[in-house]
A = this chain, B = another copy of it.
Amino acid sequence: MTGYFHDIAPIRFEGPDSSNEFAYRHYDPDEVVLGKRMEDHLRLAVAYWHSLAYEGADPFGGRTFDRPWYGDTMADARRKADAAFDMFAILGQPYFCFHDADVRPEGASFAESRRNLDEICDVFAAKMEQTGTKLLWGTANMFSHRRWMAGAATNPDPEVFAYAAACVKACMDVTHRLNGENYVLWGGREGYETLLNTDLTREADQAGRFLSKVVEYKHKIGFKGTILIEPKPQEPAKHQYDFDVATVYGFLKRFGLENEVKLNIEQGHAILAGHSFEHELALAASLDMLGSIDMNRNDYQSGWDTDQFPNNTPEIALAYYEVLRAGGFTTGGTNYDSRVRRQSLDPEDLILSHVGAIDVCARGLKAAAAMLEDGGLEKARQDRYAGWDKPEGQALLDQPLDEIAAAVEAQGIDPQPRSGRQERLENWVNRFV
């Protein structure tokens, strides 16, 4: 233990009546839900960047936090890793996720940065071995350094594309080495600030080629994890190409990659794109593209990515309902892409923010499972579309327009609307959340 969290004992499950803020009230990893341990359903992961690397800055102010591991040396990076694994232990979390830039100092050259990454991953490997913590996914940060200001794969400068390729290769290598279960691409700068200087056709082509290479390389090295794209509509860019689930689907179809790549869907990004989280999840499931989730919370009224810890159980229940309905996670899991507010300065804030999030995820999961077991919603849905399961409904799908039209006239078809029962279904949901 580094001592940073020295006062804080590992968090244990104490049940819903506990008023101990350092206990889980709902998260009991071993509780069996729909035939599976809760831990195995949720597959919770701590986000290294927010929990270890974020310093409390916002667009109008600098660092507010004061952590002993901040700094630019490999020694700092090792200290950060120590603190990270202390934190995982306190929380009892099975997984973590990281970007290269979160875990190692930038080197003077790409080679040095890559060596730094390899070295810190040796540290991780040892700690993971020792503690049983696993890697949900790795990724390359291709947005913070100034070289990425105009994009990575979609950069107007081929050298940046090349550098991006090298970064992703290096991160895939360590993700593979650490038995990461997925590899994520977030195209934070794949987009534009102004259309005036942007060639959409070229940039899409570059992005398609780049992703194809990533898929090829995955197969070459025998990485069995899933390649995931994380949609976001804008911010930092004015427009980001991986706008939402539907947009990424079109992109993958365009480049023939729809069977190779799935999605990592974030609540906050869904909201910024004008969608509910459950919409994005349900759509991805419907398109067989649901991979993993970033379970944070975005302020609906702040037009930027707030990455708050989730805390609204009814919303979380609807999200997990879609996950469970789609069969649950396979390689994916629940990464909090959440960070404490910049006024939450203390080690306790860092721990308790996670505790609260874990508990609402547990509550949400249990509510979702109960809804699925009850079956009321699925029954209502089936009833609503029942006409389509009849022979006439099925036949209609294959008939040509003029034949259908003739039948409408001949039979005097005059469809009568039936109630959509929205409020009754909402009330039904409220029985479980």
Q: Are B430 and A356 in contact (CB under 8 A)?
A: yes
| CB pair A59 B235 closer than 8 Å | yes
Asked if A331 is an interface residue, CB under 8 A from chain B, the answer is no
- Closest CB of chain B to A37's CB: distance in Å? 23
Given A156-B384, A162-B396, also A301-B286 (CB < 8 A): no
The secondary-structure label for the interface of chain A is helix
Is the CB of A6 closer than 8 A to any CB of chain B? no
Q: Are A424 and B234 in contact (CB under 8 A)?
A: no
Q: Is the CB of B60 within 8 A of A420?
A: no
A148 at interface (Cβ–Cβ under 8 A)?
yes
> Does residue A35 face the partner (Cβ distance < 8 Å to B)?
no
Q: A21-B428, A343-B419 are in contact. Are A148 and B61 (CB under 8 A)?
A: yes
**Chain A count of residues within 8 A CB distance of the other chain:** 156
Asked if A426 contacts B311 (CB within 8 A), the reply is: yes
Which A371-428 residues sit within 8 Å CB-CB of chain B?
377, 380-381, 384-385, 387-388, 390, 392-393, 396-402, 404-405, 407-409, 412-428
Q: Are A150 and B194 in contact (CB under 8 A)?
A: no
Option from B62, B146, B402 in Cβ contact (under 8 Å) with A64? B146
Task: Please give the count of copies of this chain that the complex contains.
Answer: 4
Q: Which of the segments A39-47, A71-79, A119-127, A269-277 contacts the partner chain? A: A269-277
**Interface membership of A353, Cβ < 8 A:** yes
Within 8 A of B (CB), among A246-278: 246-247, 249-251, 253-254, 271-276, 278
Q: Is the CB of A21 within 8 A of B424?
A: yes
Among A84-92, A128-136, A211-219, the one that faces the other chain is: A211-219
Output the least CB separation between A50 and chain B (Å). 12
**Chain B residues, CB < 8 A from A194:** 341, 420, 422, 425-426
Q: Which B residues lie within 8 Å of A418 (CB)? A: 157, 345
Q: Does A313 contact B (CB under 8 A)?
A: yes
- Pick from B148, B235, B286, B302: contact of A200, CB below 8 A: B286
Q: In the bound complex, how far is the Cα of B53 from the Cα of A62, in angstroms?
A: 14
Given contacts A160-B415, A169-B401, A304-B59, contact A341 B422 (CB under 8 A): yes
Whole-angstrom distance from the CB of A228 to the nearest CB of chain B? 17
Complex Cα distance, B421 from A249, in Å, reads 32
A-B contact pairs, 21 of them (CB 8 A): A56-B149, A62-B146, A114-B409, A147-B416, A149-B343, A157-B417, A158-B396, A159-B413, A170-B405, A195-B278, A196-B426, A197-B420, A200-B282, A200-B286, A213-B404, A243-B244, A243-B246, A250-B251, A272-B303, A303-B303, A356-B423
